[in-house]
């Protein structure tokens, strides 16, 4: 969809933090629940992921009758742990949908309530990702998209022109080569670019931008040029190689935030994180900006066009086993989370909300440390964002196979052609295609 901002050990523990919230309409037009109600809401990394508290606080300000208790889970094992709690009958009332590829797992397991009657505002993004057979099982509250971050100071040191919004992947590769050569000549140890090890960094763009690409088809030939380009950049030392990154467990925030790379492709969630890390001293102080992701070809490049990228929404669903006396309050919370009021509150902490308009945009760009130059505003606010994970009960299995493909190619244990052929064979035999 075209989006214009106008736009995070073992068993997890219940958070000591208790937030008060309310069951009022919250912009969704739902009826109020009567009497005090306590709801539980699943989340992760509560100390560094402020959106859950922000939403609960905003809900409370409008109607103070419902208490929302946050239940914290290990982000790395989130879906597994939530599923275990649901099976044990101890799951939270409101289930944050961290990854779209698991929506059908919860839905087919009978663990999500049909929330089709929760009214959503016009223009909200990502709602279709939670629809199965015509019914909605969650509502979106945030929608991230992948963009290009760049260090203006390193570009200046290298004498390389900043991105201008018109880059294709060939332009990106050429800029990386120029940056690497010039920075090395200046004695800098910085790379031209950094690429995190996730399959998204290659496959997400390929699936979103390549004509007629569809991971559910089981045909992955469209991945080849994206991997060929990535391997070439790695071989030319424009970016640190996958095996070194994996062996040292490098993190994208540390690599870009300490100026070890001049460019990095990453989701819009990093905007607020980098601004906060620079303020706290966790990241170094340097000038930076955001540009649209490089494009498949010139037809979608340039600020007169809408660049194509990818990103999934994050949403809230309701535990199908919720006490019926709490159901209306839970639906009211979902309605609030999708509302303009909630979107503005999220924008004020540089979280990309699912509902975007000009007023919300101003709140986003008023956040301290967020770049406000014209191209950054365009990149963050304007894009055709394709879902990384189509809503299907086959998606999780196919993505697991594609993860193996990615590891095989990037580690050098398989050629691109062999890895693609093996993945296609596995999908055909293990999953089937649509």
Give the whole-angstrom CA distance, residue 19 versus residue 318. Answer: 18
Q: What is the pLDDT of residue 23?
A: 32
Reply yes or no on whether the pLDDT at 338 is more than 90: yes
Q: Which of 430, 163, 433, 106 is nearest to 293 (CA)?
A: 163
Give the whole-angstrom CA distance, residue 114 versus residue 131. Answer: 10
Q: What is the pLDDT of residue 346?
A: 96
**For the chain, where do the domains classified as CATH 3.40.190.10 start and end?**
2-144+312-380, 146-309
Q: What is the pLDDT of residue 3?
A: 40
Lowest model confidence (mean pLDDT) among 4-13, 65-74, 214-223, 393-402: 4-13
Average of per-residue pLDDT across 236-261: 97
The residue written with tokens 């920075």 in the block is 183
Q: What value does the CA radius of gyration of the chain take, rounded to a whole number of Å?
A: 22
Average of per-residue pLDDT across 205-213: 97
338 and 141 Cβ atoms separated by less than 8 Å: yes
Query: pLDDT tens digit string along 230-242?
Result: 999 999 999 999 9
Q: What is the pLDDT of residue 64?
A: 87
Q: What is the pLDDT of residue 34?
A: 58
Query: pLDDT tens digit string along 77-133?
Result: 999 999 999 999 999 999 999 999 999 999 999 999 999 999 999 999 999 999 999
Q: How many CA atoms lie within 13 A of 319 on its CB side?
A: 25
Cα–chain center distance at 402: 18
Give the whole-angstrom CA distance, residue 53 versus residue 68. Answer: 9
Which CATH topology does 146-309 take? D-Maltodextrin-Binding Protein; domain 2 (3.40.190)
Cα–chain center distance at 133: 25
Reply yes or no on whether the pLDDT at 275 is more than 70: yes
Q: Which residues, other chains included, contact 47 with Cβ-Cβ below 8 Å and sequence gap of 6+?
A: none
Output b/e per residue, 164-191; b: 16+ Cβ within 10 A. Answer: ebbbbbebbbebbbbbbbbbeeeebebb
**Does domain 2-144+312-380 sit in CATH 3.40.190.10?**
yes
Q: Which of 427, 382, 306, 302 is nearest to 125 (CA)?
A: 382
Q: What is the pLDDT of residue 62?
A: 85
Average of per-residue pLDDT across 407-424: 98
How much of the chain is in helix, strand and coil states, percent to nearest 5?
45, 20, 40
Beta strands in 45-138 (DSSP E): 66-73, 94-97, 131-132, 135-136
How many angstroms separate the Cα of 300 from the Cα of each of 117, 249, 293, 308, 376?
A: 37, 35, 11, 7, 17
Q: What is the pLDDT of residue 432?
A: 87
347 and 361 Cβ atoms separated by less than 8 Å: yes
Q: What is the pLDDT of residue 107?
A: 95
Q: What is the pLDDT of residue 226?
A: 98
Reply yes or no on whether the pLDDT at 29 is more than 80: no
176 and 192 Cβ atoms separated by less than 8 Å: yes
Q: What is the pLDDT of residue 4?
A: 39
Instruction: List beta partners, residue 94.
Output: 41, 318
Confidence of residue 48 (pLDDT cuts 50, 70, 90): confident
Reply yes or no on whether the pLDDT at 143 is more than 60: yes
- Token pair in block for residue 396: 């999780």
Q: What is the pLDDT of residue 245?
A: 97
Reply yes or no on whether the pLDDT at 11 is more than 90: no
- Token pair in block for residue 84: 């275990």
How many angstroms separate the Cα of 157 from the Cα of each of 2, 153, 162, 187?
A: 35, 6, 12, 11
Average of per-residue pLDDT across 254-270: 97
Burial class of residue 429 in the structure, from the number of CB atoms within 10 Å of its CB (0-12 exposed, 13-18 middle, 19+ buried)? exposed
Q: How many CA atoms lie within 13 A of 141 on its CB side?
A: 31
Other residues' Cβ atoms within 10 Å of the Cβ of residue 349: 16
Reply yes or no on whether the pLDDT at 248 is more than 80: yes
Output b/e per residue, 32-66; b: 16+ Cβ within 10 A. Answer: ebeeebebbbbbbebeebbbbbbbbebbbebbebb
Give the whole-angstrom CA distance, residue 141 versus residue 349. Answer: 14
Q: What is the pLDDT of residue 434?
A: 67
113 and 317 Cβ atoms separated by less than 8 Å: yes
Reply yes or no on whether the pLDDT at 2 is more than 70: no
Mean pLDDT, the chain, whole residue set = 91
Average of per-residue pLDDT across 290-306: 98
359 and 331 Cβ atoms separated by less than 8 Å: no
Average of per-residue pLDDT across 203-215: 97
| Angle (nearest 5°) at CA 251 between 247 and 252 | 130
Give the whole-angstrom CA distance, residue 198 versus residue 251. Answer: 11
Average of per-residue pLDDT across 307-332: 96
Q: Which residues, other chains included, contact 252 with Cβ-Cβ below 8 Å and sequence gap of 6+?
A: 194, 196, 264, 266, 270
């Amino acid at each position: 969809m075209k989006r214009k901002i106008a736009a995070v050990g073992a068993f997890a523990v219940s958070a000591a933090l208790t937030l008060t919230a309310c069951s009022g309409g919250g912009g969704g037009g739902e009826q109020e629940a009567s009497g005090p109600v306590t709801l539980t809401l699943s989340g992760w990394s509560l100390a560094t992921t402020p959106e859950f508290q922000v939403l609960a606080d905003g809900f409370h300000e409008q109607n103070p009758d419902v208490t929302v208790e946050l239940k914290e889970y290990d982000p790395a094992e989130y879906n597994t742990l939530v599923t275990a709690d649901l099976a044990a009958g101890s799951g939270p009332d409101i289930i944050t949908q961290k990854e779209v590829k698991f929506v059908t797992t919860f839905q087919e397991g009978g663990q999500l309530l049909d929330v089709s009657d929760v009214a959503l505002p016009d223009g909200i993004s990502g709602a279709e990702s939670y629809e199965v057979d015509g019914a909605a099982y969650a509502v979106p509250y945030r929608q991230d998209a992948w963009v290009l971050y760049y260090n203006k100071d390193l570009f200046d040191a290298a004498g390389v022109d900043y991105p201008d919004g018109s880059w294709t992947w060939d332009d990106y590769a050429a800029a990386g080569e120029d940056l690497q050569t010039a920075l090395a000549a200046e004695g800098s140890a910085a790379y031209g670019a950094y690429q995190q090890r996730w399959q998204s960094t290659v496959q997400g763009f390929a699936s979103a931008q390549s004509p007629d690409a569809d991971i559910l088809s089981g045909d992955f030939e469209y991945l080849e040029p994206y991997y060929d380009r990535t391997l070439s950049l790695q071989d030319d030392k424009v970016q640190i190689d996958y095996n070194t990154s994996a062996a040292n467990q490098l993190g994208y925030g540390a690599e870009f935030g300490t100026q070890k790379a001049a460019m990095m492709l990453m989701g819009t969630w990093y905007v607020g994180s980098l601004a906060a890390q620079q303020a706290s001293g966790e990241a170094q102080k340097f000038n930076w900006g955001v540009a649209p992701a490089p494009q498949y070809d010139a037809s979608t490049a340039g600020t007169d066009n809408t660049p194509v990228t990818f990103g999934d929404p994050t949403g809230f669903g309701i535990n199908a086993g919720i006490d019926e006396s709490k159901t209306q309050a839970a639906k009211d919370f979902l309605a609030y989370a999708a509302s303009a009021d909630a979107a503005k509150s999220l924008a004020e902490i540089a979280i990309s909300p699912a509902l975007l308009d000009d007023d919300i945009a101003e709140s986003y760009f008023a956040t301290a440390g967020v770049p406000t130059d014209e191209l950054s505003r365009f990149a963050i606010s304007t894009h055709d964002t394709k879902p990384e994970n189509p809503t299907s009960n086959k998606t999780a299995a196919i993505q697991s196979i594609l993860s193996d493909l990615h590891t095989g190619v990037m580690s050098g244990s398989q050629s691109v052609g062999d890895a693609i052929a093996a993945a296609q064979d596995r999908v055909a035999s293990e999953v089937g295609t649509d």
